[in-house]
Structure 1
Amino acid sequence: MRPDDLVLPDTGASAAALEVASAYCSPALLNHSIRSYLWGAAHATAHDIAFDAELLYVAALLHDLGLVPEFDSHTVPFEEAGGHVAWVFAAAAGWPADRRRRVSDVIVRHMWNRVDRADDPEGHLLEYATSLDISGRGADALPASLRTDVLERYPRLGLPDEFITCFKDQATRKPGSAAASAIAAGITDRATTNPLDG
Structure 2
Amino acid sequence: MTDKRVIAGVTIPDSAMAKAVTEVVRDTETDLLYHHSRRVFLFGSLTGARKDLQFDPELLYVGAMFHDMGLFDSYASETERFEVDGANAARDFLRSYNIAERDVDDVWDSIALHTTPGIPQHKRPTVALVTSGVEMDVLGIAYQDFSEKDREEICACHPRGLRFKHAILSAFCYGTIRKPETTFGNVKADVLERMDPTYERKNFAEMIMASDWES
User: Please, which of 165, 168, 180 is the counterpart of residue 163 of structure 1?
Assistant: 168
Partner amino acid, structure 2, of 1:65: M
SS, match of residue 124 in structure 1: helix
SS, match of residue 11 in structure 2: coil
The whole-number CA distance in structure 2 between the counterparts of 1:186 and 1:44 is 33
Residue 185 of structure 1, CA deviation: 8.4
SS, match of residue 175 in structure 1: helix
Give 1:83's aligned residue: 87
Give 2:115's aligned residue: 111
Does 2:153 correspond to 1:149?
A: yes
Residue 179 of structure 1, CA deviation: 4.4
Residue 172 of structure 1, CA deviation: 5.8
Does 2:11 correspond to 1:3?
A: no
Does 2:135 correspond to 1:127?
A: no
Residue 40 of structure 1, CA deviation: 0.5
Q: Which runs of 5+ in 2 are unaligned?
A: 1-5, 196-215
The whole-number CA distance in structure 2 between the counterparts of 1:135 and 1:186 is 16
Give 2:205's aligned residue: none
Does 2:104 correspond to 1:100?
A: yes
- Normalising by structure 2, we get a TM-score of 0.78
Q: Is the 8 A contact 2:120 2:131 kept in 1?
A: no
The Cα offsets for residues 77-105 of structure 1, whole Å up to 9 and x where unpaired, read as: 11000000001111112213332222111
Return the index of the structure with the highest Cα Rg: 2
Give 2:23's aligned residue: 19
Give 1:173's aligned residue: 179
The whole-number CA distance in structure 1 between the counterparts of 2:181 and 2:120 is 26
- Which segment is superposed worse, 103-112 or 153-162? 153-162
Partner amino acid, structure 2, of 1:181: A
Following TM superposition, the consecutive aligned residue runs of length 4 or more in structure 1 with deviations greater than 6 angstroms are 184-187
Give 1:44's aligned residue: 48
The whole-number CA distance in structure 2 between the counterparts of 1:138 and 1:94 is 35
Provide closer, same or farther for how the CA distance between residues 175 and 50 of structure 1 changes in structure 2, counting only shifts above 3 A: same
Q: Is the 8 A contact 1:77 1:174 kept in 2?
A: no
The whole-number CA distance in structure 2 between the counterparts of 1:85 and 1:126 is 16
Does 2:40 correspond to 1:32?
A: no
The whole-number CA distance in structure 1 between the counterparts of 2:194 and 2:133 is 19
Q: Hey, which of these two has a bigger chunk of helix by percent?
A: 1
The whole-number CA distance in structure 2 between the counterparts of 1:108 and 1:11 is 25
Root-mean-square deviation over aligned CA pairs = 2.2
The whole-number CA distance in structure 2 between the counterparts of 1:72 and 1:113 is 22
Partner amino acid, structure 2, of 1:174: P
Partner amino acid, structure 2, of 1:60: A
Provide closer, same or farther for how the CA distance between residues 145 and 183 of structure 1 changes in structure 2, counting only shifts above 3 A: same
Q: Is the 8 A contact 1:79 1:108 kept in 2?
A: yes
Partner amino acid, structure 2, of 1:119: K
Give 1:194's aligned residue: none
The whole-number CA distance in structure 2 between the counterparts of 1:34 and 1:183 is 22
Residue 29 of structure 1, CA deviation: 0.5
Provide closer, same or farther for how the CA distance between residues 76 and 118 of structure 1 changes in structure 2, counting only shifts above 3 A: closer
Aligned pairs for 1:178-193 within 5 A: 178-183=186-191
Does 2:144 correspond to 1:136?
A: no
Partner amino acid, structure 2, of 1:180: K
